[in-house]
Structure 1
Amino acid sequence: MNPGTERNNRPDPRRGRLDRPRPDRTRRRLDRPRRTALEALRDIDRNGAYANLACHHVIEEQELSGRDAAFVTELVFGTCRMIGSYDDILETASGRALDSLQPDVLDVLRLGTHQLLGMRVPARAAVDTSVALAGNVVGERVTGLVNAVLRKVSQRDLEGWAGKLAGGDEQRYRSLVTGHPQWIIDAFADVLPAGELDDLLAADNAPAEPTLVVRPGLCERQELLDTGAEATRWSPWGAVRPGNPAELPSVRSGRAGVQDEGSQLVCLAVSRVPELTGGRWLDLCAGPGGKSALLRGIAPDHDAYLVANEAQPHRARLVSLALRRYHYSGHRVVTGDGTDLPFDAGSFSLVLADVPCSGLGALRRRPESRWRRWPEDIPELVELQRELLASALRVCAPGGIVAYVTCSPHRDETIGVVSGAESDVEILDAPALLPEVPDCAASTDPRFVQLWPHRHGTDAMFLALLRKN
């Protein structure tokens, strides 16, 4: 093949989608779902995209639905979930460092490995379709490599590969089989009762069905239930419905949205705080706006006005989008640094501080994040979280409430941050405000709420309610 022709048909890394091969490039049959999954994985791997957003984008772009859309979703999410384990397997099976492979070849191998080790795709089909995909995307010269490596991968199942690579190390084996870096497993074990760790790791790897939420005052939950959704177990605003949420008129119009039940329960607990007063409420780190929308819907019952603050302009626009159906007279969205707020001390009767965190509590919905964080990230995050909590307490009025929230159960990001503020606050009994939710008290301190995927089917949300002295 002419080298110039071959070069011109390579994927352009500056583009968001794979180039189409020239008609004379190859006669291999193009498998649209697998090709679509490769586009999503490329965006995640190269551009740092979130798996849920990248997957949704390519499915919409290719107009896939039904079984094809479900296949793409499992292929992308499953590969992202196990990518660390798969890379170790591929390095052994190929006998070479993975950085010596072209990125598209590596992504094809990862997708093929998930079909072999994580899905019910027959081995021959997984190998043959991966070889065809490599031929279409990269060129015939790499098909022999892809064929040889994946045939070697197919010689063992996941447990067999984990046993071979772990060499008797039980911790290494568990990490490989569950697709969790060891430092994350250690962080979970540090705050979980004995015997629950494996259940949590399994729950992290179970796909989460879309959870919807109505905007209070704009939509009734019955409207979601009439579409075939099932009511959430504890949140009065939520419903679970498989499929694309954008299909629903209530979601498209902004009268309902997508939000994990754990986040809804945080807002429910806040709404039940005794003697919660009106005046002005602040959502300190508001993006992308799900909790702001719930607070805005609850606020009229307390005669309160909501200020939603977000540091990043593009996320502030998402907050405005989430609030667009509410009348502007009851809220405003501002853009500013949460650690240096332009508000007077004591300006708010309620401050929700849903702080940036490691996201270890949302690994079901963001499987790629387990491979993007490192233990060295935690101290820097904790420093920011402490600054944000201090800022929240500064603008909170005496007798007012600060709700400190993270989507991480890590000890340092939860009780480690709150314990630094104990001299200035009264810690309320947050689990008592969610009596219908079983076993929601944190093992580190029973005054805090800690939700878990394996116990509650939610993200691992942490909540501390602090009344300012």
Structure 2
Amino acid sequence: MSAAESRRVAYEVVRAVHESDAYANLLLPRALERARLATADAALATELTYGTLRRQGTYDAVIAIAADRPTHDIDPAALDALRLGVHQLLSTRVASHAAVNESVELAREGAGRGAAGFVNAVLRRVSRDTPGDWMAQVEDRARSDDERLGLVLSHPVWIVRAFRRALAAEGRAHELEALLTADNASPKVTMAALPGLADVPPDVRRTPYSPFGFRLAGGDPDETVRGSDGRVRVQDEGSQLAALALTRAEPVRAGERWLDLCAGPGGKTAILAAEALAGGATLEANEISPARAGLVRAAVAGVPLEVSVSELDGRVRASESPATYDRILVDAPCTGLGALRRRPEARWRKAPSDVPELSALQRDLLEAAIVALKPGGIVAYVTCSPHLAETAGVVAEIRREFGEAVEELDARAVLRGLSVSAPELPDQVDGSGRAQLWPHRHNTDAMSISLLRRV
């Protein structure tokens, strides 16, 4: 019964993701809490949910072959039951009869008796061949190498091509398959002990690049967070490095004034606050979304520093304060293609048409931030995306616009100086100082970090 309940939780979350645009990383913890599953059953529900969403593109290709019809012709509730079943058949050790029978029951409840019979027939067809046989059949239907990689490694073709170009900007296009594979792996939970306010526990594995990051050997990370008074948090190492790139770019002078322009949900803001407290600086934050602004206030509550949080359009907020700040973080809204390990559904929600609108917003935010800098001030431009239009392209446009009034610093050198284990950060083909982190190379989100100084 517990395994059946695990599948039910996974099915309900996957349905909500597709039906209501829910976010699995927000919905699943609440669903697990309501279901009161044992630890092993909660782990099964988590694996089924994220595994199904990550490999959806591959599973849809398998389903289309086995059903002899395109997936858009299949009832959505039945299709999600099929995806969940195919994941269990091809990528887990779940017994075939259990995978088929439970998926059929979910389809019956979600779409009716007729859909249940259809799901039963398709899954029994899938169960007759090995995972290797199915991958060969999927590959045979690809019309190009990019489409083959997209089908087998479950990424839309436009993302495959964007990643290829981003890796080629470092002369590393040959790492594309490793990157796509890393996106389909469950990321390890990484913690951050706010500098100067919490110590890294002695019995943990420290992260290689962030001086205050660590990973627990076991146990519930939420217990560690709850017992820290807000001074220990779950945070990707790449996110930690993005905040530190700004605070450690040069020594902090007492009295500096800092701004986190797009602060929600507040993880980087908390690091900035701790660093500002240690260096005698002040910090202000801004987040246009009231709900996310609330998260920012909660994130900095454990830091004994007053941080005001405004709720304005970042472009307006910065333009109202010309030549005011010594350091500004622009963690810009982006496609989120760098966090597909943790938010797998994002790959199916974004489209190439999203990029121009986002890159225009990113350019406007960075432009406004530079105007808000004092002479000599530094802005860190950060995106959780390696897409060149959102990273190198935005910075190149800003540098053309401001000319000699802006100089680029070497973000790679700053990151290398943070710890003994310096990250491997190849030069960019365009000669910029941009630092690009990667899940397959650094075990972080694919965070892009550029540092610009107003002359």
Q: TM-score scaled by structure 1? A: 0.88
The farther-off stretch of 406-415 and 131-140 is 131-140
Of 237, 245, 262, 2:238 maps to 262
Distance 1:280 1:57, change over 3 A: same
Q: Which residue of 2 aligns with 1:23?
A: none
| Distance in 2 (alpha carbons) for counterparts of 1:29 and 1:345 | 59
The farther-off stretch of 52-61 and 457-466 is 52-61
> How big is the shift at 1:74?
1.0
Per-residue CA deviations over 1:32-52 (Å, capped at 9, x if unaligned) read 110111111122111212222
> How big is the shift at 1:273?
1.5
> How big is the shift at 1:138?
4.3
| Distance in 1 (alpha carbons) for counterparts of 2:164 and 2:233 | 33
Per-residue CA deviations over 1:434-469 (Å, capped at 9, x if unaligned) read 224232245344511111111111111111111101
The farther-off stretch of 304-313 and 30-39 is 30-39
Q: For 1:119, give the aligned amino acid.
A: T
CA RMSD of the aligned region, Å?
2.1
Pairing of 1:92-171 with structure 2 (within 5 A):
92-165=65-138, 166-167=140-141, 169=143, 170-171=145-146
Q: Which residue of 2 aligns with 1:454?
A: 440
| SS, match of residue 199 in structure 1 | helix
Per-residue CA deviations over 1:406-459 (Å, capped at 9, x if unaligned) read 111111111100011221311111111122423224534451111111111111
- Indicate if the aligned counterparts of 1:309 and 1:333 stay in contact, CA closer than 8 A: yes
1:70 equivalent in alignment to 2:30? no
- Indicate if the aligned counterparts of 2:54 and 2:184 stay in contact, CA closer than 8 A: yes
| SS, match of residue 291 in structure 2 | helix
1:443 equivalent in alignment to 2:405? no
- Please list every run of 5 or more consecutive structure 1 residues that lacks an aligned counterpart in the other structure: 1-27
Per-residue CA deviations over 1:138-176 (Å, capped at 9, x if unaligned) read 444432111101111223344433432443643322211
| SS, match of residue 339 in structure 1 | helix
Of 368, 377, 388, 1:411 maps to 388
1:298 equivalent in alignment to 2:275? yes
Per-residue CA deviations over 1:176-212 (Å, capped at 9, x if unaligned) read 1100111111111112113211111111111001111
Q: Which residue of 2 aligns with 1:17?
A: none
| SS, match of residue 400 in structure 1 | strand
Q: Which residue of 2 aligns with 1:218?
A: 197
> How big is the shift at 1:251?
5.7
Q: Which residue of 2 aligns with 1:319?
A: 296
Distance 1:317 1:262, change over 3 A: same
| Distance in 1 (alpha carbons) for counterparts of 2:134 and 2:312 | 49
Q: For 2:353, give the aligned amino acid.
A: E
Distance 1:42 1:252, change over 3 A: farther
| Distance in 2 (alpha carbons) for counterparts of 1:456 and 1:419 | 25
Distance 1:30 1:69, change over 3 A: closer
| Distance in 2 (alpha carbons) for counterparts of 1:49 and 1:442 | 38
Q: Which runs of 4+ in 1 moved over 6 A?
A: none
| Distance in 2 (alpha carbons) for counterparts of 1:102 and 1:468 | 56
| Distance in 2 (alpha carbons) for counterparts of 1:177 and 1:250 | 40
Q: Which residue of 2 aligns with 1:237?
A: 212
| Distance in 2 (alpha carbons) for counterparts of 1:155 and 1:173 | 23
Q: Which residue of 1 aligns with 2:406?
A: 425
| Distance in 1 (alpha carbons) for counterparts of 2:69 and 2:220 | 40
1:334 equivalent in alignment to 2:307? no
| Distance in 2 (alpha carbons) for counterparts of 1:142 and 1:454 | 40
> How big is the shift at 1:30?
8.3
| SS, match of residue 353 in structure 1 | strand
- Sequence identity (%): 45
Per-residue CA deviations over 1:263-298 (Å, capped at 9, x if unaligned) read 111222222222544421000100000000000000
Q: For 1:104, give the aligned amino acid.
A: A
Q: TM-score scaled by structure 2? A: 0.90
- Please list every run of 5 or more consecutive structure 2 residues that lacks an aligned counterpart in the other structure: none
Of 361, 365, 384, 2:342 maps to 365
- Indicate if the aligned counterparts of 2:384 and 2:448 stay in contact, CA closer than 8 A: yes
Q: For 2:52, give the aligned amino acid.
A: T
- Indicate if the aligned counterparts of 1:427 and 1:465 stay in contact, CA closer than 8 A: yes
Q: For 1:190, give the aligned amino acid.
A: R
